[in-house]
Amino acid sequence: MKQKRAYKYRVYPADEQKQQLSRTFGCCRFVFNWALRKKTDAFYKDNQRLYYKDLSEALTRLKKQDATVWLSEVSSVPLQQTLRHLDRAFLNFFEGRGAYPTFKKKCNQQAATFTGNAFIWRDGKITLAKMDKPLDIRWSRPLPDGTKPSSVTISKDCADRYFISVLVEEEIEHLPASPESIGADLGLKDFVALSSGEVVGNPKFFAKDEKKLARAQRRHAKKKKGSKNRDKARRRVARIHARIADRRRDFLHKLSTRLIRENQTICVETLAVKNMVKNHTLAKAIHDVGWSEFVSQLDDKADWYGRTLVKIDRWYPSSKRCFDCGHILDSLTLDVRVWTCPECGVVHDRDINAAKNIHAVGQTVIEACGERVRPGAVKTKPGNARRSRKPKK
Ligand SMILES: [Zn+2]
């Protein structure tokens, strides 16, 4: 089966291209915020829902108005795509996968998407609409043989780096079936605890980077507002942020690839469930972002490689339940890392016990339905957990 996959590369646009991109990003941002405002007003003031088609027509009218005629200076395709992105953001919101969309700011990451009719792909080079020269792309790895880009998204991050994400359709072969399965719990202290008893921590370099980041942020705060030095300090903060994000993503990719390769089934709890039982601090918020990204990587890779990801999205007392006897504690505060079951006397590491329970629930879901299912549809009895395989050493 053909699958869509994106490949991301660094881009070094020429000065003129930078200006063109900056205009395009600006227009996309404007259109996004304009459409978000329109949709929100229509919903709250007039009790109406605006759809892509309505907004697309309104955008055509907007481009003809004197005050916003500058929107016609850039390719119309990324603007249309912006409306599609907004549509998807709303869909995610209504289906409970995301927060209500917020306005885009100039200081955040900028992006514009060009579909096939808005760029030229020739001799391995990509030229965007309204540009006369191809982009200088560093092809760090080749696109798969025989594929051609169906759309490209060009972005600029807060550290002023440019990237291109190239979407292609390719044949991805499923991995040979594996007898293994595993449960993963978002750890409190470490990144993830696995039902096999393994704990995967955040690599040490995060701590080092975070110290550097804190120092850079303090320096930035001390500089006079509007000064050149403050801008320099801001860039430095952004660069460190970008490096942390890169390393974290790399770490998550390696881990998700490994779990997908080794296991036929991977069971995880979704964050909606997590947030019901855990508190919210900044450090945890960052932790959560990593978790969402991790789960979505697993989701993609499970699709590509023919694996099953079971997302436990209904409430289940994974931390408070003793994996060995099924006893459920009345309460378990966040600071308790190790506890002893009053019923059977087994000593549990909090996160690993939770991962084992998640694994067990996932197994019952698979057994009940055989196929990929939403656990919400299946009744999970704690007793069933005993039937699961003993975790490997
Ligand atoms: Zn017990």
Please report the pLDDT score of residue 103 as a whole number. 95
Lowest mean pLDDT among 20-29, 118-127, 263-272, 370-379: 370-379
DSSP conformational letter for 328: B
Task: Say how many Å lie between the CA of residue 382 and the centre of ligand 1.
Answer: 12
Indicate which residue of 185, 198, 209, 303 is catalytic: 185
Comparing 117-121, 207-211, 286-290, the range with the smallest average pLDDT is: 286-290
Helix axes 52-64, 76-94, angle to 10 degrees: 150
Q: How far is the CA of 251 from the centre of ligand 1 (A)?
A: 34
Residue 313 has pLDDT above 60, yes or no: yes
CA of 307 to the centre of ligand 1 (A): 32
Catalytic residue (choose from 95, 132, 335, 351): 351
351 is known as an active-site residue:
yes
Taking the centre of ligand 1 as the mean of its atom positions, its distance from the CA of residue 279, in whole angstroms, is 26
**Confidence class of residue 80 from pLDDT cuts 50, 70 and 90?**
very high
* 348 Cα to the center of ligand 1, angstroms: 9
Residue the block writes with tokens 């227009």? 27
Determine whether 210 is an active site residue.
Answer: no
**Residue 275 pLDDT:** 54
Check pLDDT > 80 for residue 149.
yes
Q: What is the pLDDT of residues 85-113, one digit of tens each?
A: 999 999 988 887 778 999 998 878 899 99
User: For residue 299, how far is its CA from the centre of ligand 1 (angstroms)?
Assistant: 32
Going by the DSSP 8-state scheme, the letter that residue 148 receives in this structure is: -
Percent of the chain beyond pLDDT 90? 56
H-helix or E-strand containing 1?
none
pLDDT of 64 above 80? yes
Q: Would the pLDDT of 359 be above 70?
A: yes
Q: Which residue has the higher pLDDT, 317 or 118?
A: 118
Which residue spans within the chain are E strands per DSSP? 2-11, 110-115, 119-122, 125-128, 137-138, 151-156, 162-171, 181-186, 192-194, 199-200, 265-269, 308-312, 338-340, 347-349
| CA 66 distance to own-chain centroid | 39
Per-residue pLDDT tens digits for 323-340: 999 999 998 887 888 999
Of these residues, 15, 190, 198, 269, which one is catalytic?
269
Distance 324 CA to ligand 1 centre (A): 5
Report field, pTM of the whole predicted structure over 0.85: no
Percent of the chain beyond pLDDT 70? 88
pLDDT at 352: 93
Please give the mean pLDDT across all residues of the chain.
86
* Interval between CA 280 and ligand 1 midpoint (Å): 29
Annotated catalytic residue 324: no
Residue 191's pLDDT is 84
350 CA from centroid of ligand 1 (Å):
13
Residue 286: the pLDDT is 60
